[in-house]
Amino acid sequence: MKKLTWYKVLNKKEDLAENRVITVTAGKTQIALSHFEDKICALDNHCPHQGGPLGEGSIENGILRCPWHGWDYHPCTGKAPGFDDGVDPYPVEEREDGIYVGIEEEKPHEPTLSDIMAETMVNWGIDTVFGMVGHSNLGLADALKRQEEKGKLKFIAIRHEGAGAFAASAYGKLTGKPAVCFSIAGPGATNMFTGLWDAKVDRAPILALTGQVATQVIGTGNFQEVDLVRAFQTVAEFNHRVQKDSKHSDLMSLAIKHAILKRDVSHLTFPDEIQEIPAGDSEPQTPEGRMGDLQITPSEKSIENAIKLIEKSKRPVIVVGHGARFNMKQIIRFAKKLNAPVLSTFKGKGLIPDNHPLAAGVLGRSGTPVASWFMNESDLLIVLGASFSNHTGITPKKPIIQVDFDPLALSKFHKIDVPVWGELSTTVKIFMEKLSENMATTDQTHELAQRWKIWRTEKQKRLLEDYGNGISSIAVFDNLSKLISSDAVVCVDVGNNAYSLGRYFESRNQSFLMSGYLGSIGFAFPAALGAWAATRGNRQIVAVAGDGGFAQYMAELVTSVKYGMNIKLILLNNAELGKITKEQRSGGFEKFATDLHNPDFAKFAIGCGALGIKVTRKEDLEVKMKEVLEYDGTALLEIMCDVNLI
């Protein structure tokens, strides 16, 4: 005799009207519960044709009709009149405290292929998934749930898959380790493309896992069918469909290995029929013995050529990009040996604090006159972990040594005097060992202090500007520089807010995340979700966005509230896509379609369960910003800004 577990499904029979059917859940089993001929009956909720939910049907003339295709069943026996098929009934007991349904005792969970792959993923150090659960990824989602229940994984349910991909991209940029973005087939998967391209072009490791419709209907135009392997071919360095006979733990290991070593996108898609196949003898893998030493040592010839250039130099400067973020201790020691100012790209902002004696700030369109002055006065540029984008504007007219882990990044846009293929810390250490003990370079620290003094005097003048059309961005970032935690993570959006932050915010030990090469508007707040997950709330997380950018993913404010994320949003509202207006006018075009109709963002934040504060007067800015930054929870500061004071 089968052992039953009894579940209470109604408080009393009268709670369900006569000739009414509803869906209830008993344990993990869905049941079509009906009140028919004065008794409560329970049937398997799934119509045998396509799984239609019988509990959403109706009882007509003593027959329960499936809501999908109109197939008929007796409400109590489950028989289909005139046919030999039907659905199974469940025993029902009416007790003093309610109505109970008896379900066969659940068997212990048998590991699936999804379980093996999820455990392999965790073994490789992946601890965070940003995603949305849906009908084509349920088996894989169930495996992720089991890892979360063991405390090995954090699943963050986002409101839009694009935000999930941005969050995972930001996680990779901050940590150098991949996080997962997770979606259903079709539109869920395609929604992730922008965030995946952001990770790809900024060299951030990321793993995308997608559900997929059953293999047997691929190519038939099935609902939500997209050939995801072909669709992801352009963005994913590693891109495979999981099959029944795949080496499943090997496949997951290879996906993660590619993401880490290539600093790129890996994608695995899971057809529906694969996800719940029993694992059998399959075992999860670990990274042990799967990766070699990543310390790339440069060739002797490239070292020799670099040393010759450095020893001839009197005014060298070092330019660091985002690729140098894990090597700055060694690089700063190198800078001290050379008496060399350290400039950064915008993506590299904060890698050396602006109050360091050798810091020259950000170079380029988002930068300071300090950095550009020292580049122009130099006689050698040593470029570490940086590319030569137009935005940064590293001049090709000076002698250049470029060091990068990726040989294809060397001399990518133009000829470099000495391209050096090597890992940054290893290469810089060799430089220091090979260079003379006492370098005859010019001590530029006095000039640095002087140029900063000139720039800070200029900033103070600009702080006084007020046209009566809102608060200036200069005031916003002057206050944020003073009030923010010294080790905060700052997630920056695209637009004038980013230019102003790069120029006016003076960094201490903060980390900065942005959509660099892709330059995707909307990045900042989803990135803050990723930064919070990466730090597990142990660092202050601040998103800086314009009204245009935040509005693209503003629903994720409720995600932040739901998970208790201590994220602060500094929102510059000027009711305009100000950067685009500026570009239109610069290009000789008239302003067109850049005005914005905005909600009251502060009230929206309150409606989401966050703190929302609006500032309209410059004299209130410091107090209100301090209140937001010190708030325990998700908070939004809406600052009404002048689009022209940037």
Domain extents in the chain:
4-104, 113-271, 300-446, 465-640
Section 307-324 average pLDDT = 94
Q: State the number of CA atoms in the 13 A half-sphere of 221 facing the CB.
A: 0
pTM for the full model? 0.93
DSSP 461-530: HHHT---SSSB-HHHHHHHHHHHS-TT-EEEE-SSHHHHHHHHH---SS-EEEE--SS--TT-HHHHHHH
Question: What pLDDT is stored for residue 412 in this prediction?
Answer: 85
Question: What pLDDT is stored for residue 457 in this prediction?
Answer: 95
Q: Give the CATH number of domain 113-271; options: 3.40.50.970, 3.20.20.450, 3.50.50.60, 3.30.420.40.
A: 3.40.50.970
Domain 4-104 has what CATH class? mainly beta
Q: Is 157 exposed, middle or buried (0-12, 13-18, 19+ CB in 10 A)?
A: middle
Using the 8-state DSSP alphabet, how is residue 131 labeled?
A: E
pLDDT band at 163 (very low <50, low <70, confident <90, very high): very high
Q: Could you tell me the CA-to-CA distances from 211 to 87, 133, 267, 583 in Å, in that order? A: 29, 9, 11, 41
Using the 8-state DSSP alphabet, how is residue 245 labeled?
A: T
Q: Give the CATH number of domain 465-640; options: 1.10.260.40, 1.10.510.10, 3.40.50.970, 3.10.450.50.
A: 3.40.50.970
Q: What percentage of the chain carries pLDDT values higher than 70?
A: 100
- What pLDDT, in 10s, does the model give residues 32-90? 999 999 999 999 999 988 888 999 999 999 999 999 988 899 999 999 887 778 999 99
CB atoms inside a 10 Å sphere around CB 342: 29
Which residue do the tokens 């999930």 mark? 164
pLDDT band at 209 (very low <50, low <70, confident <90, very high): very high
DSSP 320-351: E-GGGTT-HHHHHHHHHHHT--EEE-STTTTS
The letter for the amino acid at 293 is D
Question: What pLDDT is stored for residue 1 in this prediction?
Answer: 58
Give 320's contacts (C-beta < 8 A, 6+ positions apart): 328, 331, 342, 343, 344, 345, 348, 351, 352, 384, 385, 386
CB atoms inside a 10 Å sphere around CB 43: 25
Calpha distance 91→74 (Å, rounded): 15
β-partners of residue 567 are 541
Section 247-276 average pLDDT = 95
Question: What pLDDT is stored for residue 49 in this prediction?
Answer: 84
Radius of gyration of the chain (CA): 30
- What pLDDT, in 10s, does the model give residues 317-354? 999 999 999 999 999 999 999 999 999 999 999 999 99
- The phi-psi region of residue 107 (left if phi > 0; otherwise alpha if psi is between -120 and 50; otherwise beta) is beta
Candidate from 40-44, 201-205, 409-413, 488-492 with smallest mean pLDDT: 409-413
Q: State the number of CA atoms in the 13 A half-sphere of 131 facing the CB.
A: 28
Taking alpha carbons only, the member of 382, 374, 380, 373 closest to residue 327 is: 382
Residues in the chain: 646
Section 409-423 average pLDDT = 90
- Is the pLDDT at 414 greater than 90, yes or no? no
- Is the pLDDT at 493 greater than 90, yes or no? yes
- Do domains 113-271 and 465-640 share one topology? The answer is yes
Q: Name the CATH superfamily, with its identifier, for domain 300-446.
A: TPP-binding domain (3.40.50.1220)
- What pLDDT, in 10s, does the model give residues 379-404? 999 999 998 877 778 888 999 999 99
Token pair listed for 204 = 């951030």
- What pLDDT, in 10s, does the model give residues 350-367? 999 999 999 999 998 888
Q: Could you tell me the CA-to-CA distances from 385 to 13, 146, 354, 393, 638 in Å, in that order? A: 70, 39, 19, 15, 35
- Is the pLDDT at 24 greater than 90, yes or no? yes
Instruction: Using DSSP bridges, classify how beta strands 489-492 and 511-514 pair: parallel, antiparallel or unpaired.
Output: parallel
CB atoms inside a 10 Å sphere around CB 469: 13
Calpha distance 315→338 (Å, rounded): 9
Token pair listed for 454 = 């000139």
Mean pLDDT, the chain, rounded, equals 94
Section 491-497 average pLDDT = 94
Taking alpha carbons only, the member of 165, 174, 176, 177 closest to residue 488 is: 174
Question: What pLDDT is stored for residue 215 in this prediction?
Answer: 79
Calpha distance 318→381 (Å, rounded): 6
- What pLDDT, in 10s, does the model give residues 508-540? 999 999 998 898 999 999 999 999 999 998 999
Question: What pLDDT is stored for residue 452 in this prediction?
Answer: 96
- Is the pLDDT at 192 greater than 90, yes or no? yes
DSSP 82-99: TSS-B--EE-EEEETTEE
CB atoms inside a 10 Å sphere around CB 155: 16
Select the more confidently predicted residue: 159 or 388. Answer: 159
Q: State the number of CA atoms in the 13 A half-sphere of 183 facing the CB.
A: 26
Cβ contact 65:24 at 8 Å: no
Q: Could you tell me the CA-to-CA distances from 459 to 370, 375, 452, 503, 618 in Å, in that order? A: 12, 21, 10, 10, 16
Calpha distance 430→449 (Å, rounded): 30
Question: What pLDDT is stored for residue 218 in this prediction?
Answer: 75
